[in-house]
């Protein structure tokens, strides 16, 4: 069985990629993040081939090389995971088609998504990017919350690409057409935070792993805590206002526009996957 994790930003992707997937005995885990920065990464076949799948031109990518990686771990299940498959930079179709080629002969993979409330994700995304760019005052992201929202909601603005990547339904629907609705699984970040045992049970059902083995891994500190870790690195230089409470009044000016972007898709996902998105205050 192959697990294909399409990781949405700010939705536990790092937790799964660092704390969970590499530690499952019955699985081989294919993810370039774990190999990046190593001295021999350019010679590591996992790093090289997955990066080709994600980022390089057609002439550089050969699906047979991915299949050979799978064959080298014969007898184990496979997990391939990346945020790149969400298509946040416009290449979802290419990457998904390559994934179909790579999985040919393996049987349809189980596709895994984790969703997070878009209001919360946008705030977290803003804070993390603001913290990372604090030393470049003229950088686009070095602005307060209200200004950041204004930039990202300008019609036709090049940074409006941030907003569609949190529009989950079209991306999930696309993968349903590729691999079948019956092979797509949708979990909720909020359950991981509020009820880790229930999240472990849901994830265990997808992975066919005992939830008791998953819960300790999920209980580890989450790998990417965004502005919390960034704040520790950059203080005392970073303006505290950028990491303070979000300006709710400013957010209200753009709330209806953001709701119109996400509400229809969230309603569809709530119905299709029986998800309590309204109870969790998702844009509806």
pLDDT in the model for residue 271: 98
pLDDT in the model for residue 216: 87
* Residue in the structure block whose two tokens are 């070095």: 142
Of 95, 115, 87, 110, the C-alpha closest to 27 is: 110
pLDDT in the model for residue 238: 35
Strand partners, 114: 187
pLDDT in the model for residue 183: 94
Strand order in the sheet with 110-115: 27-30, 77-82, 2-6, 110-115, 184-188
pLDDT in the model for residue 195: 92
Dihedral pair phi/psi, residue 65, rounded to 5°: -70, -35
User: Which parts of the chain sit beneath pLDDT 70?
Assistant: 32-44, 56-59, 73-75, 87-94, 104-106, 129-161, 220-254
**Secondary structure class of 282 (helix, strand, coil):** coil
pTM for this model (two decimals): 0.81
pLDDT in the model for residue 218: 87
């Amino acid at each position: 069985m192959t697990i294909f994790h399409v990781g949405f930003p700010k939705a536990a992707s790092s937790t799964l990629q660092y704390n969970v997937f590499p530690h499952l005995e019955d699985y081989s885990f294919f993810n370039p993040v774990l190999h990046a920065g190593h001295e021999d990464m350019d010679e590591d076949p996992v790093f090289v081939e997955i990066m080709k799948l994600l980022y390089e031109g057609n002439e550089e990518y050969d699906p047979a090389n991915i299949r050979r990686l799978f064959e080298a771990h014969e007898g184990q299940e496979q997990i391939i995971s990346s945020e790149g498959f969400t298509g946040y930079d416009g290449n979802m179709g290419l990457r998904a088609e390559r994934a179909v080629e790579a999985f040919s002969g393996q049987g349809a993979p189980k596709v895994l998504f984790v969703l997070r409330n878009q209001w919360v994700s946008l705030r977290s995304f803003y804070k993390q990017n603001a913290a990372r760019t604090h030393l470049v005052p003229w950088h686009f992201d070095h602005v307060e919350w209200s200004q950041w929202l204004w930039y990202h909601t300008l019609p036709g603005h090049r940074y409006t690409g941030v907003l569609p990547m949190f529009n989950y339904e079209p991306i999930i629907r696309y993968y349903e057409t590729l691999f079948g609705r019956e092979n797509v699984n949708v979990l909720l970040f909020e359950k991981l935070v509020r009820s880790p045992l229930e999240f472990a049970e849901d994830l265990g059902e997808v992975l066919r792993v005992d939830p008791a083995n998953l819960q300790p891994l999920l209980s580890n500190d989450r790998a990417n805590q965004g502005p919390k870790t960034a704040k520790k690195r950059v203080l005392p230089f970073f303006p505290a206002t950028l990491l303070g409470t979000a300006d709710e009044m400013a957010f209200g000016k753009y709330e209806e526009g953001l709701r119109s972007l996400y509400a229809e898709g969230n309603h569809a996902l709530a119905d299709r996957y029986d998800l309590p998105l309204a109870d969790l205050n998702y844009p509806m």
